[in-house]
């Protein structure tokens, strides 16, 4: 898509008696997508500083005034569809969501991956209540389990893959349910509504700091989240976004984002996630 197709004419019209005055200016309008992996208010607080920084640096590089609107999809599925259907220009998404979106639209492209202590990996957690009698994965037989979203990397695909590797299948659980968000999983495990649950390490640690009586039962590796361009994003904007992401060093912005920067990434980095998705049916056999 050409750059001019990302430029919208914004007009302000003032009515002064019989006189109408119109002021118009050209502005590059972009849409940045998220979905509700956590509370929407927490997402805005976390991402607004980095989006503001990207706006400023894009404006400088493109020599056009740039504004970026944050669009939060109410579900993972709707967020995936928004990117695949180019209803957002770029998006931060989980690895599994990226694999699903890439299958739907092969022309989407990774801009960069988030850096966690200089690496493109971080941990998923299987948690139980602090005073739980569950002390091993084998103890989960006959117990209830809270998963996250049905399209979540940690909340479903990797946690279920981990359970399979340790001999636990859906039929071995007393019950299980998808709760949609990592914070909801931690909350229900903490109050004993479910015996165990899968959530990302950052949410687990945040809940611990708030006093939630949780204990880590197991952990497993995940690939950090990619920032992905839509299939129709203009090439010059895409190139500029890659450069900007890889050069973000602002301490306060990164602190709010809870990351230490961005790293180059490729589709091949997410092969383990693709395999976990393709083999997920095994959990239910």
Please tell me whether residues 91 and 212 are part of one structural domain. no
Q: Tokens 């993972």 identify what position?
A: 76
Please tell me whether residues 211 and 234 are part of one structural domain. no
Query: In the chain, how many domains are there?
Result: 2
Confidence band of 140 (pLDDT split at 50, 70, 90): very high
Query: What would the mean pLDDT of 109-115 be, rounded to a whole number?
Result: 98
Any idea how long the chain is? 285
Please write the tens of the pLDDT for every residue from 45-84.
999 999 999 999 999 999 999 999 999 999 989 999 999 9
Q: What is the pLDDT of residue 39?
A: 80
What are the backbone dihedrals phi and psi of residue 31, each rounded to the nearest 5 degrees, phi first? -120, 120
Please tell me whether residues 10 and 112 are part of one structural domain. yes
Whether residue 276 is contained in a domain is answered as no
Q: What is the pLDDT of residue 6?
A: 54
Tokens of 176: 């299980």
Q: What is the pLDDT of residue 3?
A: 54
Query: What would the mean pLDDT of 107-119 be, rounded to a whole number?
Result: 96
Please tell me whether residues 112 and 238 are part of one structural domain. yes
In contact, 181 and 149? CB cutoff 8 Å: yes
201 pLDDT more than 80: yes
Please tell me whether residues 83 and 29 are part of one structural domain. yes
15 pLDDT more than 70: no
Tokens of 199: 């959530």
Whether residue 281 is contained in a domain is answered as no
Please tell me whether residues 216 and 229 are part of one structural domain. no
Query: What would the mean pLDDT of 107-115 be, rounded to a whole number?
Result: 98
Could you tell me the CATH number of the domain that includes residue 155?
3.40.190.10
24 pLDDT more than 60: no
Please tell me whether residues 176 and 82 are part of one structural domain. no
Q: What is the pLDDT of residue 1?
A: 55
Whether residue 91 is contained in a domain is answered as yes
Q: What is the pLDDT of residue 16?
A: 32
Q: What is the pLDDT of residue 215?
A: 98
Please tell me whether residues 112 and 229 are part of one structural domain. yes
Domain that holds residue 21: 3-116+225-268
Model's pTM, two decimal places?
0.80
Please tell me whether residues 11 and 104 are part of one structural domain. yes
Average pLDDT over all residues of the chain: 90
Please tell me whether residues 237 and 111 are part of one structural domain. yes
Measured between alpha carbons, how far apart are the two ends of the chain, in Å?
Answer: 45
Please tell me whether residues 112 and 139 are part of one structural domain. no
Whether residue 283 is contained in a domain is answered as no
Please tell me whether residues 146 and 102 are part of one structural domain. no
- Element spanning 216, H or E: strand 214-223
Whether residue 36 is contained in a domain is answered as yes
DSSP string, the chain: --GGGGEEEEEEEEEETTEEEEEEEEEEEEEEEEE-SS-HHHHHHHHHHHHHHHHHHHHHHHTS-EEEEEEEESSHHHHHHHHHTTSSSEEE--HHHHHHHHHH-TT-EEEEEE-BTTBSEEEEEEEEETT-S--SGGGGTT-EEEE--TT-IIIIIIHHHHHHHTT--GGGSSEEEE-SSHHHHHHHHHTTSSSEEEEEHHHHHHHHHTT--EEEEEEEEEEPPEEEE-TTS-HHHHHHHHHHHHT---HHHHHHHTS--EE---GGGGHHHHHHHHTGGGGG-
8 pLDDT more than 70: no
Q: What is the pLDDT of residue 36?
A: 86
Confidence band of 23 (pLDDT split at 50, 70, 90): very low
Please write the tens of the pLDDT for every residue from 210-253.
999 999 999 999 999 999 999 999 999 999 999 999 999 999 99
Confidence band of 2 (pLDDT split at 50, 70, 90): low
Whether residue 24 is contained in a domain is answered as yes
Q: Whole-angstrom Cα distance, residue 209 to residue 212?
A: 7
Whether residue 280 is contained in a domain is answered as no
Please write the tens of the pLDDT for every residue from 159-169.
999 999 999 99
- Element spanning 81, H or E: helix 76-84
Q: What is the pLDDT of residue 14?
A: 32
Tokens of 223: 């690939």
9 pLDDT more than 90: no
Whether residue 77 is contained in a domain is answered as yes
């Amino acid at each position: 898509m050409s750059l001019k197709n990302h430029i919208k004419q914004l007009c302000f019209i003032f009515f002064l008696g019989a006189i109408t005055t119109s002021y118009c200016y050209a502005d590059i309008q972009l849409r940045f997508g998220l979905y509700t992996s956590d509370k929407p208010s927490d997402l805005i607080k976390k991402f607004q500083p980095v989006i503001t920084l990207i706006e400023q640096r894009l404006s400088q590089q493109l020599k056009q005034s740039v504004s970026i609107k944050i669009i939060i999809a109410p579900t993972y599925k709707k967020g995936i569809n928004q990117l695949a259907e180019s209803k957002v220009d770029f998006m931060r998404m989980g690895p599994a969501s990226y694999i699903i979106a890439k299958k739907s639209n092969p022309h989407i492209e990774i801009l960069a991956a988030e850096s966690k202590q200089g690496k493109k990996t971080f941990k998923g957690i299987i948690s139980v209540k602090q005073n739980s009698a569950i002390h091993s994965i084998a103890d989960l037989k006959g117990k209830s389990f809270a998963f996250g979203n049905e399209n979540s990397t940690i909340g479903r695909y990797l946690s279920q893959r981990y359970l399979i590797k340790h001999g636990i299948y859906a039929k071995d659980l007393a019950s299980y349910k998808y709760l949609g968000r990592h914070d909801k999983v931690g909350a229900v495990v903490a109050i004993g509504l479910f015996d165990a649950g899968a959530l990302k390490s950052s949410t687990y640690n945040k809940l611990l700091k708030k006093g939630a009586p949780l204990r880590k039962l197991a952990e497993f590796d995940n690939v950090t989240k990619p920032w992905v361009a839509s299939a129709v994003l203009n090439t010059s904007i895409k190139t500029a976004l890659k450069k900007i992401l890889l050069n973000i060093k602002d301490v306060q912005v990164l602190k709010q984002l809870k990351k230490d920067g961005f790293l180059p990434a490729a589709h091949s980095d997410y092969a383990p996630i693709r395999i976990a998705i393709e083999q997920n049916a095994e959990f239910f056999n």
